[in-house]
Amino acid sequence: MESSLEKITSQLAQKAEEIAQLPAELLAVIYEEKWFKLFVPKYLNGLGLTMPQALAVEEKLAKKDGSLGWTVTLCAGAAWFVGFLDPDLATEVFKDPKVCFAGSGFVGGTADKIGEGYLINGNWTYASGALHATHLTANCQILENGQPVYSKSGNPLIKAFLLKRNEVEILDGWSYMGMVATASHAFEVKAKKVPLNRSFEILPEQTTLPDPVFKYPFLQLAEATLATNVLGITLHFIDLVDDCFWIRNEKRKYDALHLNYYKELRANALQDILNLKMEFYNIIEKSWEQLVAKHKITEDTLKSISEISRSLAVTCRESSSKLHPFAGLEAAKRYTEINRVWRDMNTVSQHALLIFPF
């Protein structure tokens, strides 16, 4: 992996931002390393990583470049749905070495069961990696012959669907200041008929593959993978702030009092993050050990994952804000690396799952 990371230069990350998507050079590395298939079993041409292993990869990629890390994380997270797909469909789909799933987490459409298929209509937002995805996932409210279907609990029945790229229309809906190269566009589907086996439900009892990772609760999987991205981007930002500060010091010649203030502030901020990082990975390891040994993660451990993921994200945001002024105007200058990383940080950290500390 390390040799592949060396190919991902700051210039390549800047190119990705300029064209507002991951360029062919970056995608070639991703396909070679199978990063879009972190959780996909090896017999389906994936990496088959454990949860702790996957998070470590995602953190490294996010530290290298925010858009890269986020796109891999979200696409690999969507491909995690392989554990819930019809087995024959999964085998067919993952024959393609460049297979990439993108998707949206909210219920943006309907799926009307008519005969031996579903008629899909709707639109969905924030599908990271949409421009190079081979498939997109979409949550739909289930209808049958035009009438709503309800679950046993009396709620509208919701299922996810796997759609082929040529069955959807990508809409240019990503116009935010950061994470520009994630191409997190919207997409829509109009009256598209798909077979019954394209539907799936993300429930522990619905898994179609035996690997423990597919029993990992989706909420904590999402919280943890997003938190690692915030972590990686923040560590990158802190390094860049330090570079900027010492370059400024060569010209300004700060006195000992000011130098010591900055050094102490940076050391404390970094240490707070590293302490939480260690705690974060420890609880992830614990959760994985419980899952492998007992096929279930305890409620206390799940609660701890949610809490530490949020605490890590909040601390990263606060630390970045404290250190930001010491980069000077370089951080405000367009097209600099630190400006891109700062914008990425202040975009990705707005994710609804991580804005509250509890």
- Short-list 330, 286, 321, CA closest to 304: 286
Residues 9 and 77 in one domain: yes
295: domain CATH number? 1.20.140.10
pLDDT for the residue 355: 87
Residue 210 domain-assigned (yes or no) = no
What is the C-alpha separation between 42 and 38, in angstroms, rounded? Answer: 10
Predicted TM-score of the model (pTM)? 0.96
Residue 29 domain-assigned (yes or no) = yes
Question: If DSSP codes are grouped into helix, strand and coil, which group holds residue 105?
Answer: strand
Residue 209 domain-assigned (yes or no) = no
Residues 171 and 254 in one domain: no
Residue 7 domain-assigned (yes or no) = yes
Residue 342 domain-assigned (yes or no) = yes
The DSSP line for 12-46 is HHHHHHHHTS--HHHHHHHHHHTGGGSSS-GGGTS
pLDDT for the residue 63: 97
Residues 73 and 134 in one domain: no
What is the C-alpha separation between 32 and 164, in angstroms, rounded? Answer: 22
Q: Would you give the DSSP letter of residue 296?
A: S
pLDDT tens digit at each of 358 positions of the chain: 888 888 888 899 999 999 999 999 999 999 999 999 999 999 999 999 999 999 999 999 999 999 999 999 999 999 999 999 999 999 999 999 999 999 988 899 999 999 999 999 999 999 999 999 999 999 999 999 999 999 988 999 999 999 999 999 999 879 999 999 999 999 999 999 999 999 999 998 899 999 999 999 999 999 999 999 999 999 999 999 999 999 999 999 999 999 999 999 999 999 999 999 999 999 999 999 999 999 999 999 999 999 999 999 999 999 999 999 999 999 999 999 999 999 999 999 888 888 888 7
Full residue range of the structural domain in which residue 73 is found: 2-84
What is the C-alpha separation between 156 and 152, in angstroms, rounded? Answer: 9
Residues 272 and 188 in one domain: no
pLDDT for the residue 318: 96
Question: If DSSP codes are grouped into helix, strand and coil, which group holds residue 97?
Answer: coil
Q: Is 99 exposed, middle or buried (0-12, 13-18, 19+ CB in 10 A)?
A: buried
> What Rg, from alpha-carbon coordinates, does the chain have?
21
Residue 93 domain-assigned (yes or no) = no
Residue 44 domain-assigned (yes or no) = yes
Residues 237 and 338 in one domain: yes
Q: How many domains does the chain have?
A: 3
